[in-house]
């Protein structure tokens, strides 16, 4: 199953999103949070993200979803650190919450990495309020 790595500047946000996603996609076991710094402070760390990618990988690839600017930059660096690891990793251009939920459901249904990324990215620009 395609793994997911949740990158947030806040460990609490990443942990909460993992909890929410686990309720909606309970059969997905490869969701790893990479929020905050090792000491618990706010921030992102490429090394922690690369370790999370390794943990999330079961051979079907890993989709990384990140919150803000430096979270994206740290994720890109983490992916570069894994160039020789042979892991298919894609950084999704998607909203963190909605994209994570869509990606997890898609992965849980057996979709390949391209379809999981598409599910996440299809959440961009979706209106939440109909009116």
Per domain, the residue ranges of the chain are 3-121
* Active-site residue flag, 28: no
pLDDT given for residue 125 in this prediction:
87
- Taking 90 as the threshold, does the pLDDT of residue 127 lie above it? no
pLDDT at 130 over 90: no
32 pLDDT more than 80:
yes
Q: Which of 116, 118, 122 is nearest to 3 (CA)?
A: 116
Query: What fold is seen in the domain 3-121?
Result: Rossmann fold (3.40.50)
Collect contacts of 19-24 with beta carbons under 8 A, ≥24 apart. Answer: 20/97, 20/101, 21/100, 21/101, 21/104, 24/101, 24/104, 24/105
Place of tokens 């790595």: 5
pLDDT of residue 28: 83
Alpha helices, DSSP H only, in the chain?
11-24, 46-56, 69-81, 96-108, 113-121
Q: Note the pLDDT of residue 39.
A: 93
Please tell me the predicted confidence (pLDDT) of residue 53.
98
- Digit-coded pLDDT (tens) for 50-59: 999 999 999 9
> Catalytic: which of 9, 18, 28, 48?
9
The per-residue pLDDT of the chain, averaged, comes to 95
pLDDT of residue 26: 86
């Amino acid at each position: 199953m395609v793994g997911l790595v949740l990158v947030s500047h806040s460990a609490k946000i990443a942990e909460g999103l993992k909890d929410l996603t686990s309720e909606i996609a309970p059969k997905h076991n490869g969701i790893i949070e990479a929020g905050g710094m090792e000491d618990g402070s706010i921030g992102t760390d490429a090394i922690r993200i690369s370790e999370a990618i390794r943990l999330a990988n079961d051979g079907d690839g890993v989709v990384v979803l990140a919150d803000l600017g430096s979270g994206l930059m740290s994720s890109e660096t983490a992916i570069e650190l894994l160039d020789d690891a042979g892991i298919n990793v894609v950084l999704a251009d998607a909203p963190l919450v909605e994209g994570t939920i869509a990606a997890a459901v898609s992965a849980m249904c057996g979709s390949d990495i391209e379809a999981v990324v598409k599910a996440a990215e299809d959440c961009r620009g979706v209106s939440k309020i109909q009116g």
